[in-house]
Amino acid sequence: MAATGSAVGLGNIWKFPYITGENGGGAFVLIYLLCIFLMGVPIMMAEVMLGRRGRRNPVDSMRYLAEEMGHSQLWRFLGWLGVVAGFFILSYYSVIAGWAISYVFSTGAGTFAGADAELVGQHFDELTKSPLTLIFWHSIFMVITMIVVARGIEDGIEKAVRFLIPALFILMIVMVLYAMTTSGFADGLRFMFAPDFSKITTEGVLKAMGQAFFTLSIGMGAIMVYGAYLPKETSIAQTSFTIAIADTSVAVLAGVAIFPIVFSNGLEAGSGPGLIFVTLPLAFGNMAFGTFFGTLFFILLVFAAWSSSISLIEPAVAWLIENKNFSRIKASITLGLLTWVVGLGTVFSFNEWSYIALFDNTPLQGKTFFDVLDYLTSNIMLPLGGVLMAIFAGWLMKRTACEEELAINETAYLLWHFLVRYVTPVAVMLVFLNAIGVFS
Ligand code: PFF
C-alpha cells in the first residue's frame, strides 16, 4: 500500500499527460508501456528484494549486500545516487504539489465555474508568474511532508492510501465519463493510442524510459526502503505487478480524461507542465457538480503527491539517522530546509529565471533550472540506478538468495532473471547511446 502511494502521484496525473503531449502521443505511450513491463516490473522486483535483504537505508543496504555477496564496497555509491536523486526530485515535486494545493482553493472558490480556455489559462499564468505565491504553496507542501517524515507515521499514510487511491481512481473515471461527452473524445483517444512513429525522437525514447522509472518510483532506493519493511511471506512478484498495474491505470485514465479536453477546446497538447492545470479546471468548470468534483480531485491529487514525497526523502532521512546520529526530527528539519532552498530554483524557473543566459551555446540552451533537474533525475539518474540494481540482482546476488526471496515458480524465475540480467542493462545502454546520438 505504501509503495503504491509512492508510485501514484504527480508523475501519473501531471507529468505523464504533459510529456505524452510534448512527445507526440501514441508512439510515446507504447514505448512507455513497454518500459513499464519489460524493465520497470523486473527492476522493481529486484529493488524490493535488495531492500528486504538489506534492511537498512539504501546506502547501507548496498554496502551490506555487497559484503554478504563478497563484492566491492563501491556499491554503496548506488545508494548515494538514489539519495541524491530523491532529494532533487522532491525539490521540484514540492513546487508542483504547491500548484495543486493552490488549485484546491481556487476550484473550491468556484473560480472556474463556466470558465473558458482563456480565463483558465490566465489563472495559471498569473499563479506561475508570481514567485511569492509559488514560494508560499511550496513552503506549505514542504512543511506537511516533513511533519509526516519527522513523526515517522508512515502507517498513517498507509491507512490513508487505502482509500485514497481507490477514490482517486473513481474520480478519474468520472473525468473520463465527462471527456466522453466532449467533441474531442475520438481525437483524444487517437492521439493517445494510435502510434505514429514519425513523431518520436531519440530524446522521446529516453523520456519514455525515464518516465517509466519515475512513475514507478524505482531506481533510487525509495522502493528499497519499503522493501525493508515487507514481511517475509509477502510475494514480491505479485506486489510489484499489482503496483505497476495500479500505477499505469491511473496514468492512462489521466491521459484519456485530458486529451479530449485539449482537442475539444483547441488547446495545445504539447503546452508543457501547465497542461492539467489548464485542461482539468476547464472540465470542472463545465460539468455538473464541477466545483465539488474539482475540489475533491485536487485534494486527492495533493494527498497522492504527499504520499510520494515522503518516500522521496525517506532514504536521505534514514541515512542521516543511521549514520550521523541525527534524531528523526533533526534529520527532517535539516533536509526539509535544504530541499526547500533548492526548490526555489524551480519556483523561479516559471518566472524570473524562465530564460537562463548562462546556458546559451551549451547543450542546455533554452532549458530552465527545473528542466535540467527533471531531465537529470528522471532520464539519467533513475534509469542508471535501476539498471545497477538489476545488474547487482542479476549477476552478483547468489541464485539461492534470489530464489529464496522471490519464491516464484521456475519459469517465472527464469524470465525475471533473463530480464534483469540481459534485457534491462542492454536496453538502458542502447537508449542512453541512442540519446547521445551514437546511432544517428
Ligand atoms: N512515482 C512518483 C510519481 O509518479 O509521482 C514520483 C516518485 C516518488 C519518484 C518516489 C521516485 C520516488 F522515489
Q: What is the pLDDT of residue 153?
A: 63
Ligand 1 centre distance from Cα of residue 210 (Å)? 11
In this model, does residue 270 exceed pLDDT 80? yes
pLDDT single digits (tens) 198-208:
999 999 999 99
- pLDDT-based confidence at residue 275 (cuts at 50, 70, 90): very high
- pLDDT-based confidence at residue 154 (cuts at 50, 70, 90): low
Q: What is the pLDDT of residue 162?
A: 86
Of all residues in the chain, the percent with pLDDT exceeding 90 is: 88
Mean pLDDT to the nearest integer, 39-48: 97
Positions of E strands within 212-261: none
pLDDT single digits (tens) 176-189:
999 999 999 999 99
- Torsion region of 397: left, alpha or beta (phi above 0 gives left; psi -120 to 50 gives alpha): beta
What's 375's DSSP letter?
I
Burial group, residue 172, by CB count within 10 angstroms (0-12, 13-18, 19+)? buried
Mean pLDDT to the nearest integer, 102-111: 97
In this model, does residue 425 exceed pLDDT 70? yes
Q: What is the pLDDT of residue 433?
A: 93
Mutate-to-test residue for ligand 1 from 214, 218, 373, 380, highest number of ligand atoms within 8 A of CB:
214
Nearest-atom index, ligand 1, CA of 311: 10
Ligand 1 centre distance from Cα of residue 115 (Å)? 32
pLDDT single digits (tens) 277-288:
999 999 999 999
Ligand 1 centre distance from Cα of residue 217 (Å)? 4
Shortest-distance Cα residue to atom 7 of ligand 1: 217
Ligand 1 centre distance from Cα of residue 90 (Å)? 9
pLDDT single digits (tens) 352-370:
999 888 888 888 888 999 9
Distances (CA, A) of 88 to 197, 268, 336: 32, 29, 12
Distances (CA, A) of 331 to 145, 319, 327, 340: 13, 9, 6, 14
Q: What is the pLDDT of residue 362?
A: 83
Q: What is the pLDDT of residue 160?
A: 81
Mean pLDDT to the nearest integer, 13-34: 97
Nearest-atom index, ligand 1, CA of 214: 9
Ligand 1 centre distance from Cα of residue 308 (Å)? 5
CA atoms of 75 and 85, how far apart (whole Å) = 16
Class of domain 2-435: mainly alpha
Question: In sequence order, what are the residues at sequence separation of 6 or more whose Cβ sits closer than 8 angstroms to the Cβ of residue 62?
Answer: 50, 54, 75, 76, 78, 79, 392
Q: What is the pLDDT of residue 255?
A: 97
Q: What is the pLDDT of residue 134?
A: 98
Question: In sequence order, what are the residues at sequence separation of 6 or more whose Cβ sits closer than 8 angstroms to the Cβ of residue 92?
Answer: 343, 346, 370, 373, 374
Cα–Cα nearest to 373, from 398, 347, 395: 347
Give this prediction's pTM: 0.96
Residues in the chain: 440
Shortest-distance Cα residue to atom 9 of ligand 1: 217
Mean pLDDT to the nearest integer, 146-174: 85
pLDDT single digits (tens) 372-401:
999 999 999 999 999 999 999 999 999 999
**147-56-392-12 Cα dihedral, nearest 10 degrees:** -20
The answer to whether the CB of 381 falls within 8 A of the CB of 209 is: no
Nearest-atom index, ligand 1, CA of 9: 5
Mean pLDDT to the nearest integer, 111-123: 95
The answer to whether the CB of 416 falls within 8 A of the CB of 408 is: yes
- pLDDT-based confidence at residue 161 (cuts at 50, 70, 90): confident
The answer to whether the CB of 374 falls within 8 A of the CB of 384 is: no
Mean pLDDT to the nearest integer, 284-302: 94
Ligand 1 centre distance from Cα of residue 211 (Å)? 10
Mean pLDDT to the nearest integer, 323-332: 94
In this model, does residue 25 exceed pLDDT 80? yes
In this model, does residue 157 exceed pLDDT 80? no
Nearest-atom index, ligand 1, CA of 315: 13
Mutate-to-test residue for ligand 1 from 240, 300, 312, highest number of ligand atoms within 8 A of CB:
312
Nearest-atom index, ligand 1, CA of 222: 13
Q: What is the pLDDT of residue 339?
A: 98
Phi, psi angle pair for 194, to nearest 5°: -100, 105
Q: What is the pLDDT of residue 409?
A: 93
Nearest-atom index, ligand 1, CA of 308: 8
- pLDDT-based confidence at residue 351 (cuts at 50, 70, 90): very high
CA atoms of 307 and 162, how far apart (whole Å) = 11
Average pLDDT of the chain is 94
pLDDT single digits (tens) 405-418:
999 999 999 999 99
Ligand 1 site residues (CB inside 6 A) read 6-7, 9-12, 86, 89, 214-215, 217, 220, 222, 308, 311-312
Q: What is the pLDDT of residue 123?
A: 97
CA atoms of 237 and 376, how far apart (whole Å) = 29
Ligand 1 centre distance from Cα of residue 8 (Å)? 7
Nearest-atom index, ligand 1, CA of 14: 5
In this model, does residue 167 exceed pLDDT 90? yes
In this model, does residue 440 exceed pLDDT 80? no
